[in-house]
């Protein structure tokens, strides 16, 4: 199972960002964080053995909920050989409307399926056990997460 921890990442310009980080037994990583513009991002990292076909974003699925391979509002994900990144929501006044984020906070497992660079498919998953407190620490303890269907 993945162990969730808080990791401080430093970008090229020296900006420090705290991420909720997990690495699974197969060596894949998942980082969720709130960037300087209050955007929640999920960064999926490949292990050292495989490379993504960057033309196709990996599909992610929490438990038995619908699988998706796009950012919020049907925006594309960013994809490279070694990682893919998704926008999960935009925070305004400590509130975010994001079914994906809600699912992550309340789910048990997140599964990624992807097309490999040299053909073939791969799959990996992360346990979400223990992730909620780490996620809230990183995203904001007072953050209110609504789902799209909760909107008036």
Please write the tens of the pLDDT for every residue from 134-151.
999 999 999 999 987 766
What is the reported pLDDT for 151? 60
| Alpha-carbon distances, residue 134 vs 21, 74, 105 (angstroms) | 9, 27, 10
> Are the beta carbons of 40 and 33 closer than 8 angstroms?
yes
Query: What's the rounded Cα separation, in Å, for the pair 61 and 86?
Result: 13
Q: Give helix 99-106 / helix 131-139 axis angle, nearest 10°.
A: 140
**Between the CA atoms of 70, 132, 140 and 94, what dihedral angle is there, to the nearest 10 degrees?**
60
Residue 109's beta-bridge partner residues? 127
Query: In degrees rounded to 5, what are phi and psi of residue 72?
Result: -60, 155
State the residue for tokens 């050292």: 48
What is the reported pLDDT for 3? 87
Query: What's the rounded Cα separation, in Å, for the pair 113 and 119?
Result: 13
Residue ranges, the chain, pLDDT below 50: none
Query: What's the rounded Cα separation, in Å, for the pair 88 and 39?
Result: 8
Find the radius of gyration of the CA atoms of the chain. Answer: 15
What is the reported pLDDT for 80? 93
| Alpha-carbon distances, residue 71 vs 43, 75, 88 (angstroms) | 11, 5, 6
């Amino acid at each position: 199972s993945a162990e969730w921890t808080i990791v401080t990442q430093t970008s090229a310009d020296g900006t420090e960002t705290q991420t909720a980080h997990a690495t699974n037994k197969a060596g894949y990583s998942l980082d969720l964080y709130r960037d300087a513009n209050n955007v929640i991002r999920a960064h999926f990292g490949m292990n050292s053995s495989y490379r993504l076909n960057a033309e196709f974003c990996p599909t992610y699925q929490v438990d038995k909920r619908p699988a998706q391979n796009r950012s919020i509002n049907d925006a594309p994900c960013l994809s490279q050989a070694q990682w893919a990144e998704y926008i999960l929501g935009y925070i305004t006044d400590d509130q975010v409307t994001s079914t994906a984020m809600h699912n992550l906070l309340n789910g048990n497992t997140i599964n990624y399926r992807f097309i490999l660079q040299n053909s073939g498919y791969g799959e990996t998953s992360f346990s979400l056990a223990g992730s909620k407190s780490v996620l809230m620490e990183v995203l904001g303890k007072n953050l209110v997460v609504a789902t799209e269907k909760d909107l008036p």
